[in-house]
Amino acid sequence: MSGLDTRLAAKPADYKSDVKPIWCPGCGDYHVLMSFTRAFAQLGLPPEQIAVVSGIGCSSRIPAYTNCYGFHGIHGRSLALAAGLKVTRPDLTVVVASGDGDGYSIGGNHFLHACRRNIDMTYVVMDNHIYGMTKGQPSPTTEPEYDTALAPGGTGVAPFHPLVVALASGANFIARCFSGEPNETADVLAEAIKHPGFSFVEILSPCITFRPDEKVWKDQVHAASVGATHDQGKAARRLMTDDGFNIGILYRGNRPPYQPAVGATDIDWSELERDFEL
Amino acid sequence: MSKASDNPKVASLNDLLAVAYQIEIDAVDRYNLLADQMETHNNPELVKVFRDLARAEGIHGEEIRRLAGDFDVVAHARQIAKFERRGSPEEADLSSAHYLMTPWHALQLSLDGEKRALAYFTSIVETAKDPKVKAMAGELVEEEAEHVNLVHRLLRRYPPPSESWADDMDPPVSQE
Amino acid sequence: MAASPSLSIAIIGSGGAGALTTGDLLLETACAAGWHGLYTRTLGPQIRGGEAAGLLRLAVHPVECLPDQFDILVGIDWLNAHRFGAEIKVGPQTLVISDPRGGEPPPMVTQSGARVVEVPMKEMAKAIPDGRPNMIALGIASRLLGFSAEQVSAPLEKRLADKGPAAIEASLAGIKAGFGAAAGIAYGTQLATPRANTARRWLLSGNEATALGAIRGGIRFAAAYPITPATEILEWLAPNLSKVGGTLLQAEDELAAINMIVGASYGGTPSLTATSGPGLSLMIEALGLATSAEIPIVVVDVMRGGPSTGIPTKSEQADLNIAVYGMHGDAPHLVLAPQSVGDCVFTSQWATHLAESLQAPAIILSDQFMGQSRAAIERPADVAFIGARTLAANIAGTYKRHAMAANGVSPMALPGTRGGQYTADGLTHTERGTPTSGAADHLAQLDKRRDKLDRFNFGDHWASVEGEGDIAVMTWGSLTGAAREAAAHAVADGIGVRVVAPRLLAPVQPERLAAALEGVKRILVVEQTHGRQFHKYLRAHYDLPAPVRAFNRPGPLPITAGEIHRAITEWR
């Protein structure tokens, strides 16, 4: 996040658009939207200086529900869109929104490289352990025994650990939140945005329509028992043994963010042409 | 459940009024949000219920503003009234919403909210040092108790829903 | 000694012989001395040590295609040289220099009737400390072409600058020895003296030209994923974009590259990527996104043999279909094709200008032949086409990103512009940009995106239309040069020919093509495809006023001027 003119007394309502969400009532993403707007208000950023970039899926509908600049892109490619945008417009605050299908499946490769590149942006994945928009197929974080039409009896394939993948790939900030605690989530998001480099925030956000069993999440989540570490080794151990419900900032790295110098210069065309001159 | 540290510090009468005001305003916003959801999802009965609840909370908020007199509760609330964990006591739990929910469900949410507010003000009565704060908190407890009764009365008008209240013969639709 | 306006030479060698370097140096020598030239390489499949041939045509006028037959062929060795049999034509007029220790000359030599002169290049190289046979060959070729030793040494010293004085000395000695050997070879043709060149000239490849044209047009961001034969565009842009305040980002795959440039362009920066057929296939979805969301981007496809992995090191023109038809849904967009190495500068700049002006993606169809050939060109004129995007500022009221407009182009709010907040979307949208499934909105936006292209005045640059005659030769891309040369031969024979080569392939220009074909009685469509893609495209979208014949062949061999000339004369 770069220093910008902050507005006095920004309110969350300043960051909400008038577009009514299509999310099912009871969806965790309503809380996530609340967390976004509260975080933006906390930071006092002008809405026009924020870009919310997403892919495809229920979670990816969020940009239009904010009053910021938004990009509802194609499935799995939000991180690439965001990388091109941020590198050429370092003045903007870029927040990327995705889900467990869009982000970890089709978007998996871009996830690795976004962590590796460490461009300054915040990546929020609303994880509901299912493909919601397309009606309930297993995702990379779905439990192997979870029965679905596409994988009757369960996939039999173990879910992966996105937080471990993020750490191994170089993410500079790793946190997990629960949508049902929108104020805590807002605080973590604000921290994530302030933290330089690639910040990854996974938000457990239950799907009321296809995973009503996720109602129990509010009883299963718990604050992380230890504070965030700067040590990658420690973080690796903690994340590998994580129960999937530790809430809080789990890792803060100090890699410098990637940002090439961009901006108009006095163009000396002859310098470009010299290579060719006979 | 919330810990004491999750709630804003109430050190003076003005703090208490500001926090009480914010609780009502947060409830107004939350009920309006739910009303919007019900509107988008074609549940007009619940639109009316939530708008009515929002209006009622708005009136409560105005009452608190009057109690505060010249003091700017609105600005002060913005400064100090920050609730951690599950949020402001009377904010209905969004995750309990459902597009087919009935008035009974909405009123249950409201009842939960009022009870939480009542518990919150009760804790202030118990822990406040300033007698003025204690007294006002006591007043607010009585107010909330009245609200609780009101909701109970309303609930008697609406039967608990049948087992099949959430049944929809149409399957979900994929939009993308 | 006869003077010829054009002479062509091929150098073949393998296993580190350095044949390609010889060709490069001949090109540089000739061009520095005032001639024009076109130089292309052809290779075996190995990464190093493979058989390789440098194909060079020199002339007093700009060269846009290779000859039908080579005047001189130098075989440093003949290992696996039969692979080039179809590509390197020699005949009774050809002088072949052959090393007796270089293996058996291939049938293309022995059965051609060419005059073969043996020179023991390998042995001569051994006699020089650190000597190399390709330097001997360089000396021989230089002498035959009429260059002096001084003319050759300048580019040589530049090339070997960081190898040290010993290497340079050894090479100069090799050149000198080659000169000596060539003195004894009678060769009756020399290149005609070049005209005094008052124009500034450049020597560059089509890929470099494409990259420079893009920067001239305003491109300031590129995303890169390497692929043969496009990588050089990206490698040239990497340092040069920085010089103009831009930047290049390497992507993890083409899916990332295309989305990166869409994102950068959404933020206001004219952006480009370059790829070949397989990469373009991956990029199609995001090209559709850019079309729907009305975001300008430039994608260069340096076409190679297809389908699938195809022939990565060879040229073909069979990506026309995917370029014009590839996107799902109705998604009109821009497709352009440069016609020569020099034209790559203009077309790239123009494509950028058009994409920005029309808020639409532009695909540039270059090909391996133009992309990886080096040619001498006149310094391109400074053209006034610089990307000019219509932006929204001082926004009052609700901003409508896709508002109807007379010219179909709605002002675009860049992030940071207060009041202009909107969400760009691939979902079908209203004027405001919010998703809709409504019939009226869908139709209105489809009309808008089609009309903004159809209503635009592309001017005369849309095609090259040259000459008068009963027969028109329609072609495009790198075959334009061969068509022009064929037309010149036909005219010399008394047959009038009109060459019509579109530079703008999409959107189609029916009125302009009708005007270009006015009075024509026969249309010969020439293309380097197996499936007659260009022919079918013309027939689908244009009313062609006269009988049409198709002359098509897939890669890897270029269609030569001679072949086109024959096709013209055979159809009377």
Grouping H, G, I as helix, E, B as strand and the rest as coil, residue B118 is: helix
Task: Name the minimum distance, in Å, from the CA of B100 to any CA of chain A.
Answer: 9
- Residues in chain C closer than 8 A to A278 (CB atoms): 31-32, 200-203, 376
| CATH class of the region C463-570 | alpha beta
Dihedral class, residue B128 (left if φ above 0, else alpha if ψ from -120 to 50, else beta): beta
| C520 neighbors C470 (Cβ within 8 angstroms) | yes
Spell out, as residue ranges, where chain A has pLDDT lower than 50. 1-7
Which two structure tokens, joined as six digits, stand for A204? 């457990």
**pLDDT value for C196:** 79
- When the candidates are 3.40.640.10, 3.40.50.970, 3.40.47.10, 3.40.50.300, the CATH number that belongs to C202-378 is 3.40.50.970
- Residues in chain C closer than 8 A to A276 (CB atoms): 202-204, 208, 212
- Residues in chain A closer than 8 A to B176 (CB atoms): 56-57, 133-134
Distance CA C28, CA C306 (A): 32
Interface contact flag, C259 A73, Cβ < 8 Å = yes
Is pLDDT above 70 for B58?
A: yes
pLDDT digits (tens, 9 = 90+) for B111-133: 999 999 999 999 999 999 999 99
The verdict on A49 touching C (C-beta cutoff 8 Å) is: yes
Interface contact flag, C376 A278, Cβ < 8 Å = yes
Where along chain A do its domains lie?
A: 23-276
| C117 neighbors C96 (Cβ within 8 angstroms) | yes
Percent of chain B residues past pLDDT 70, beyond the cut: 96
State residue C378 phi and psi, 5-degree precision: -80, 145
- Residues in chain B closer than 8 A to A148 (CB atoms): none
Distance CA C172, CA C202 (A): 26
Interface contact flag, C263 A263, Cβ < 8 Å = no
- Residues in chain C closer than 8 A to A51 (CB atoms): 267, 415
Interface contact flag, B175 A133, Cβ < 8 Å = yes
Furthest-apart CA pair in chain A: how many Å?
75
- On the question of a cis peptide bond just before residue C556, with omega within 30 degrees of 0, the verdict is yes
Is pLDDT above 90 for B9?
A: no
**pLDDT value for C148:** 92
Which two structure tokens, joined as six digits, stand for C35? 């001639």
DSSP H or E run through A248: strand A246-252
Two domains, one topology: C202-378 and C463-570: yes
Interface of A with C in 106-125 (CB under 8 A): 109-110, 112-113
Interface contact flag, A84 C221, Cβ < 8 Å = yes
Where along chain C do its domains lie?
A: 2-191, 202-378, 463-570
Substitution target in B95, B100, B108 with the highest count of A β-carbons within 10 Å is: B95
The verdict on A45 touching C (C-beta cutoff 8 Å) is: no
Superfamily of chain region A23-276: Thiamin diphosphate (ThDP)-binding fold, Pyr/PP domains (3.40.50.970)
The verdict on A82 touching C (C-beta cutoff 8 Å) is: yes
**pLDDT value for A5:** 42
Interface contact flag, A21 B85, Cβ < 8 Å = no
The set of residues, in sequence order, having a beta carbon less than 8 Å from that of A5 and lying 6+ positions away, is A46
Which two structure tokens, joined as six digits, stand for A216? 């129990």
Superfamily of chain region C2-191: Pyruvate-ferredoxin oxidoreductase, PFOR, domain III (3.40.920.10)
Which chains lie within 8 Å of chain B at 3 or more CB pairs, if any?
Answer: A
Chain A residue with minimal CA distance to C345?
A: A273
Spell out, as residue ranges, where chain C has pLDDT lower than 50. none
Average pLDDT, integer, range B12-29? 93
| A95 neighbors A53 (Cβ within 8 angstroms) | yes
**pLDDT value for B127:** 93
Which two structure tokens, joined as six digits, stand for C501? 């080569």
The set of residues, in sequence order, having a beta carbon less than 8 Å from that of B67 and lying 6+ positions away, is B17, B136
The set of residues, in sequence order, having a beta carbon less than 8 Å from that of A134 and lying 6+ positions away, is A101, B174, B176
Task: Tell me the one-letter amino acid at C523.
Answer: I
- Residues in chain A closer than 8 A to B44 (CB atoms): none
Interface contact flag, C200 A277, Cβ < 8 Å = yes
Interface contact flag, A26 B94, Cβ < 8 Å = yes
Interface contact flag, A276 C220, Cβ < 8 Å = no
Distance CA A247, CA C570 (A): 80
Task: Name the minimum distance, in Å, from the CA of C362 to any CA of chain A.
Answer: 18
* Confidence band of B2 (pLDDT split at 50, 70, 90): very low
**pLDDT value for B1:** 39
**pLDDT value for A103:** 97
pTM comes to 0.93
First to last CA, chain A: 47
Grouping H, G, I as helix, E, B as strand and the rest as coil, residue C518 is: coil
Task: Name the minimum distance, in Å, from the CA of A158 to any CA of chain B.
Answer: 26
Is pLDDT above 90 for B24?
A: yes
Interface of C with A in 177-236 (CB under 8 A): 200-204, 208, 212, 215, 220-221, 223
CA distances (Å), origin B48, targets A18, B107, C268 = 20, 12, 45
Interface contact flag, A180 B41, Cβ < 8 Å = no
Q: State the pairing for strand pair C374-378/C548-552.
A: unpaired
**pLDDT value for A164:** 97
Grouping H, G, I as helix, E, B as strand and the rest as coil, residue B95 is: helix
Task: Name the minimum distance, in Å, from the CA of C435 to any CA of chain A.
Answer: 9
Chain A residue with minimal CA distance to C261?
A: A84
Task: Name the minimum distance, in Å, from the CA of A18 to any CA of chain C.
Answer: 11
Which two structure tokens, joined as six digits, stand for C505? 């392939």
Query: In chain B, what are the domains?
Result: 10-157 (1.20.1260.10)
Q: Mean pLDDT in chain B?
A: 90
Task: Name the minimum distance, in Å, from the CA of A41 to any CA of chain B.
Answer: 12
